[in-house]
A and B are shown apart, each in its own frame.
Chain A
Amino acid sequence: MAKQYCKAEQALTPKLVPAVAVLCLLSVAVLTPAGALSATQKQPQLQNTELTQAPEQPIEPGEVPDGLSNGDWANIQGQIAAGKYRAFQHENDGYVSSNPAQGWRIRYAGDGTTTLRPRDHQAQAWHLGLTLSAIGFAELQTLDQPDQITANNITVTYQWNDYLREWWVNTATDLEQWFELEQRPPGAQSGQPLILEMTLATDLAASQQGNALSFVNDSGTAIAYSKLKAWDSSGRALPARMHLAANQLSLIIDDSAATYPLTIDPSLEQQAYLKASNTDMGDWFGYSVAISGDTVVVGAGGEDSNATGINGDQSDNSVTNAGAAYVFFDLLGFTFNAGLNDAWVSADAPLQGFFFTVFPELEFFFLAMFTFDSVPPGPGVPPAVFGAVDQRWVTGLGAYSGNSV
């Protein structure tokens, strides 16, 4: 994500925002990994007696200490990094872990509830809790609490009963939730999908967009619950969708053709965290927001600096309530590339979808839609037949920019 501080000479108006957005596409602040590892940090990982004398200078990024191979050093660094995400036993019950990259602390309670909160204690408080509460088909079987909760490094597991296991894997990328069902739950009925029902406990605003949920608040917290996938023991992908109703979240799986065991895998990840580059009380950061693609302009009507133009002296607070605009662009950090070439489908319309082709050198994008029909076959609407007259083949071609086309 890149961000840019822009200062207007006058108070922000809606007309100013597009101009500021254009003017500020100049400098980029790249998020970098943690800085150099000190010698004392790496010393406990070393077992080679030749290296018991720690070097006096910190190890610079990209540098490999004498006596270690690149692979050994990468392994050591990986262990150090992963250690930040491991779970520790909670003083009452269950476990806790931290996720520095996402900015979360995570509580895995003995009753099976997994709760996220901000890691920064000075940040505005919020919470997002998920508890598996029932499983089944037309009639759901209520789950009380897990038989057992265990932890192994970055993974915490709830064993709900003899056939159902839920576990969470905490990494810098996301907090990934997994379910495994050793056998089909009792009560299966023909034509009825498998349902895993979870209870939500959150003070964030929840909404559903297709097969993804968003949890947001007005202070910039935005968390996505998405990437739902399900497959059976043969590796066959199963149609899966989610449904949110009040504080109940259901994962709905078509297991009619599945061979158990079954695996289900959604995940939680932060969508974006926006913060002013010169935070001060009373700046009203977020008083106004404009969004275009993956660019966001945030107004702070109470910001006090006397800077004008782009990236002036943000620390001189000599003009009370002068106001400022902050431009965040390339928020998704995603660009078109040839790895997108593939067939893409919607979970809500199985066996229909699009084939995408990216031409990176031309910065052009091509799509073709494959579909049976736009309306179900019936009287006056014959079923689609490959190669027959009047079957539809829709194509599109256009230049792309950023992550959209």
Chain B
Amino acid sequence: MTINVELTSGGIFNALEPLANQQAGYGTITIVFIHCNEALLTYDFPTLGLSGQMTLTRAVPDNVALCEALNTQ
């Protein structure tokens, strides 16, 4: 299953103006979770000419135990 991603740009931190511009159809991302601390992410951003794959792990493993517990339920 693939999800569509949108690009938001142009906004200013903590300010109403200018309004941020949201660009739909920016590209697609597919993620497959191997286990609670590893995922394979495939991306395709045609407007940037970027596509590829990367392995992701958590920045910090704090939630791994919770994920594993929930996964067995």
Contacts and interface: CB of A to CB of B under 8 A. Distances in A.
Judge: A and B partners, yes or no.
yes
Interface of A: 209-212, 226-227, 237, 293-294, 332-349, 353-354, 365, 367, 369, 374, 386-401, 403-405
A394 B34 contact: no
6 residue pairs, one from A and one from B, having the closest CB atoms: A339-B67, A387-B13, A398-B3, A210-B55, A337-B70, A396-B5
Contacts of B35: 332, 334
Interface of B: 1-14, 18, 26, 29-41, 48, 50, 53-60, 62-71, 73
Contacts of A343: 58-60
Nearest to A212: B55
Nearest to B7: A394
A339 B42 CA distance: 21
Contact of A394 (B2, B8, B33, B69): B8
A251 to B, nearest CB: 15
A322 B30 CA distance: 38
B33 A404 contact: yes
B23 to A, nearest CB: 9
Contacts of A335: 71
Given A342-B63, A345-B59, A403 B32 contact: yes
Nearest to A401: B1
Given A210-B53, A347-B55, A398-B2, A342 B8 contact: no
Contact of A403 (B33, B54, B73): B33
Contacts of B39: 344
Nearest to B70: A337
B4 A398 contact: yes
B9 A392 contact: yes
Contact of B32 (A237, A393, A404): A404
Contacts of B5: 367, 369, 394-396
B61 to A, nearest CB: 8
B9 A405 contact: no
